Structure 1
Amino acid sequence: MAAPSSFARFIEFISKGIVAVRHSGDAPRAPVYGTAPAIPVAKPQGMIPTLKMPTAKGWEGDHKPTAAAGLKVNAFARGLDHPRNMHVMPNGDVLVAESMGERGNPQSLFDHAMSATMQRARASGDSANRVTLLRDADRDGVAEESHAYIENVRQPFGIALVGDTLYVGASDALLAYPYEPGATKITTPGKKLMDLIPGGHWTRNLIVSKDGAKLYVAVGSLSNIGDAGMAAEENRACIFEYDIASGRSRIFAGGLRNPVGMAWEPEGGMLWTVVNERDGLGDETPPDYLTSVRDGGFYGWPFCYWDRVVDDRVPQDAAKVASALQPDYALGGHTASLGLCWLPEGTLPGFPAGMAIGQHGSWNRSKLSGYKLAFVAFENGKPVGMPREILTDFLSPDEKHSYGRPVGVALAADGAVLMADDVGDVIWRVTGA
């Protein structure tokens, strides 16, 4: 038998986590946070970002995340299949979207390395394509019932209820299902309301307007920085507004590379989102961010980032750069902030009103970031101060293993904070100690 090629050995080492692809311009840096971040100048670079990701390990025995002082955490549900996002129903049932990225068709050396790394980290593979219903009938903080509620949906993520209609954001469509309170399964096929483009950043989150008349649908970009041209990015990197009565849709805001979590801030009445920024410019350049979303707003992708800093890897559009809005709050580079939930004051002891953020964690920096349930306080409708931690220790100290990875965040009917963990296959529940 012929000896393995250097290419094959390299891919094998990547798949086992023995080596990482690191760009020479990367070096550990202090996280970039807040309303006025000092963002490092982009590193000298080509198109290849650092590639480093821990191997998915999961939780064993009684091992669990560490809760902040004054808080405690328990498993609301275990044994799920890559839980990503949640929606709490009026009767207290919790719907969980179980899905993951589909295996791609690698072309380049880096594609092969990235594909192997993502599979090792359980970030891609065979998707469950299911919405599961969890029920805690005795209200003891642990779900004793689990039901396959909706099946055979391509990568479900967003879930929203309006009246007697349940909406699901699949990677390829906005779907509507008849909702019956108390039922444990929907067998009626989903009605397609809106075609969406699968692939790339595939999560399609949903949130309902305060008056229940509209849905907002988050759609990420196909690529990092419009690598296949901007025609391939049409109707992507944006948040759509879908009018339920008329069935018409429009782009509400654009230039958002990968908006995922969405939440309403009650004082200002604004829609907020967390956005995953571009790769290949350094550990902290640019930071992911939390921002209010203005109707008609453009947030820079792919032409520029933060305060109109031009990305010279991209063919430029001066008018687009001039119109770009600056995000409100930096969350650190490559934290992969995915989940977002408004927490009213008093939800968690010692925490004011603000946003809870599920930070899935980086795969593309020399020192890993994220891997926590974070919190950003708000005053007068705006974020203030530095982030705080609600749950930590999802990552081993040597950064070789991830026990879990935070994703969606929701408020349970009893006021507890729920967080989906797609590597641990757990829904964690956080309350006062």
Structure 2
Amino acid sequence: MRAVTVWLMTVGLMGSASAASCGDFVALNVKTPEGYCVAIVQKNLKFPRGVLALKDSTVLVVEMGGWGNNLGAVAQVTPGKSIKRYLQGLDRPHGIRQGPDGRIYVGEDSRIIRFDLKNPAARTVVVSSLPDSGRHPLKSFVFDAQKNLVVNYGSSTDNCENQKGKASCSETSTRSLLKQFTLDWKGGGKVTGSLTLAKGLRNSMGLALHPSGTLLQAENSRDALGSLLKVPDEDLPHDELNVVQKGGFYGWPYCYDNQQNAPEFPSFKCQNSIKPAVLLPGHGAPLGIAYAPENAYPVLQNTVVVGLHGYRSNGHRIVMYQVNGKGIPSGKLQNVVWDWDTKPGQKQGAPVDISFAPDGGFYFTDDKNGLLLKFQRQD
């Protein structure tokens, strides 16, 4: 795949005296497949995380605001025209989806709320008292093929380091899992039940539903493995793409990669854990994934697109994998947006969430630089 470099010449991150264009917008200085570019749609966002492209061509962006409490909001961006903010004071919000009922759902650190865009102030709480302590408090979520709400309960530790060497890790009964909530859609969307869908998933920040019903999870794997194994750790352990199976166990904290034992738990039977569908680059930090819809640009057809947020060598880029008819990824990684390192007039990128637009391109956020961006055709 040939690539083109789109140049942005700036006097600061965004101020430009002379800049390449991407449609009606200034272009980001990155590499993309030939014929495509990345547009800077909105700047000066407040630590943007989740993103949701709507059919009316506006875009909802979750502004987390930072890691402090109650700094968040939801911004509605009309590209090139305006921005409105709703629901000020959200507590470390991250995920955003449109539910089966058409309402907008947002994940705060300890609850999921919903609202109607016609009256955002009249928000309601869907589920509350979600675990919000420790290392991974943020809530990503997705609606599955049965319209159940599936929520990430990220681990509270890196690798259960406080219990290393013990036969079991106590937090795996309440954290490092996916929780499924059943909702009564005929009764207004009230929660009527819940169950643990899958375990052994350290931090499921990326979740995506394929039209076939396959639920795909992006696993943010542990740290500090290289120092324990006394080997370079730039590529170890790999992050993962996992196909979620009801009742499945995926290995954390006992195992990594393809059923390899973590050095802290050498006796655990990792062969009983489910192997990843794909091993992602180590420390890439996949925070957002999205299946390309039928109307996606040709270069994106039959793929799952993955945003790698990490600052290390394998991160700060967007990649894709080919998928089969059931949405199972395989094959080699292909770059979509890359060469996003620090360079004159531009800081290293940090892509978070991804949402496909009605025209076949996709929007994505960059939290560290406060940007809403769009991958689109180069006119």
Separation in 1, partners of 2:110, 2:351: 24
Percent of pairs with identical residues: 24
Give the equivalent residue in structure 2 for 1:369. Answer: 314
Give the equivalent residue in structure 2 for 1:46. Answer: none
Give the equivalent residue in structure 2 for 1:242. Answer: 181
Structure 2 contact 322–331 (Cα < 8 Å) conserved = yes
Separation in 1, partners of 2:45, 2:342: 22
Aligned residues: 335
Separation in 1, partners of 2:311, 2:348: 14
- State the Cα distance separating 1:374 from its structure 2 match: 0.9
Letter in 2 for 1:242: F
- State the Cα distance separating 1:161 from its structure 2 match: 2.5
Residue 310 in 1 paired to residue 255 in 2?
no
Q: Point out which structure has higher relative CO (alpha carbons under 8 A, 6+ apart).
A: 1
- State the Cα distance separating 1:234 from its structure 2 match: 4.0
Match for 1:172 among 102, 107, 110? Answer: 110
| Corresponding residue SS for 2:307 | strand
Give the equivalent residue in structure 2 for 1:43. Answer: none
Residue 415 in 1 paired to residue 350 in 2?
no
Match for 2:277 among 299, 324, 328? Answer: 328
Structure 1 contact 84–99 (Cα < 8 Å) conserved = yes
Give the equivalent residue in structure 1 for 2:208. Answer: 263
Structure 1 contact 335–361 (Cα < 8 Å) conserved = yes
Separation in 2, partners of 1:90, 1:237: 34
Structure 2 contact 296–359 (Cα < 8 Å) conserved = no
Give the equivalent residue in structure 2 for 1:119. Answer: none
Closer, same or farther: CA 316–88 of 1 in aligned 2, 3 Å: farther
- State the Cα distance separating 1:219 from its structure 2 match: 2.2
Match for 1:273 among 217, 230, 251? Answer: 217
Separation in 1, partners of 2:170, 2:13: 40
Give the equivalent residue in structure 2 for 1:383. Answer: 329
- State the Cα distance separating 1:303 from its structure 2 match: 0.6
Separation in 2, partners of 1:233, 1:129: 29
- State the Cα distance separating 1:337 from its structure 2 match: 1.0
- State the Cα distance separating 1:193 from its structure 2 match: 1.7
Structure 1 contact 359–373 (Cα < 8 Å) conserved = yes
Letter in 2 for 1:78: K
| Corresponding residue SS for 1:350 | helix
TM-score, with length taken from structure 2: 0.81
Deviations 1:153-192 (A, max 9, x none): 1111112223154322111112233x14xx3x62235425
| Corresponding residue SS for 2:337 | strand
- State the Cα distance separating 1:101 from its structure 2 match: 5.8
- State the Cα distance separating 1:408 from its structure 2 match: 0.3
Closer, same or farther: CA 205–416 of 1 in aligned 2, 3 Å: same
| Corresponding residue SS for 1:420 | strand
Deviations 1:72-123 (A, max 9, x none): 2212222211111112234333211111663xxxxxxxxxxxxxxxxxxxxx
Matches within 5 A, 1:2-401: 58-59=13-14, 61=16, 62=19, 64-66=28-30, 67-99=32-64, 102=67, 128-135=71-78, 142-162=79-99, 163-177=101-115, 179-180=116-117, 183=118, 186-199=120-133, 200-211=135-146, 213-229=147-163, 230-245=169-184, 246-267=191-212, 269-281=213-225, 282-314=233-265, 317-318=268-269, 321-344=270-293, 347-363=296-312, 368-381=313-326, 382-396=328-342
Structure 1 contact 417–431 (Cα < 8 Å) conserved = yes
Choose 150-159 or 376-385, whichever is displaced more: 376-385
Structure 1 contact 65–392 (Cα < 8 Å) conserved = no
Separation in 2, partners of 1:166, 1:186: 9
Separation in 1, partners of 2:59, 2:285: 24
**Where does the alignment leave 5 or more consecutive residues of structure 2 unmatched?**
1-11, 20-26, 164-168, 185-190, 226-232
Structure 2 contact 152–204 (Cα < 8 Å) conserved = yes
| Corresponding residue SS for 2:287 | strand
Deviations 1:43-93 (A, max 9, x none): xxxxxxxxxxxxxx9555346142221212212222211111112234333
- State the Cα distance separating 1:295 from its structure 2 match: 1.0
Letter in 2 for 1:195: S
- Name the one with the larger strand percent: 2
Closer, same or farther: CA 233–298 of 1 in aligned 2, 3 Å: closer
Closer, same or farther: CA 69–164 of 1 in aligned 2, 3 Å: closer
Structure 2 contact 210–291 (Cα < 8 Å) conserved = yes
- State the Cα distance separating 1:127 from its structure 2 match: 7.0
Separation in 2, partners of 1:233, 1:170: 22
Give the equivalent residue in structure 2 for 1:431. Answer: 376
- State the Cα distance separating 1:280 from its structure 2 match: 0.9
Closer, same or farther: CA 232–293 of 1 in aligned 2, 3 Å: closer
Deviations 1:119-165 (A, max 9, x none): xxxxxx67731111112xxxxxx341211122211111112223154
Separation in 2, partners of 1:59, 1:391: 19
CA RMSD after TM alignment: 2.5
Structure 2 contact 70–89 (Cα < 8 Å) conserved = no
Structure 1 contact 58–403 (Cα < 8 Å) conserved = no
Separation in 2, partners of 1:215, 1:126: 25
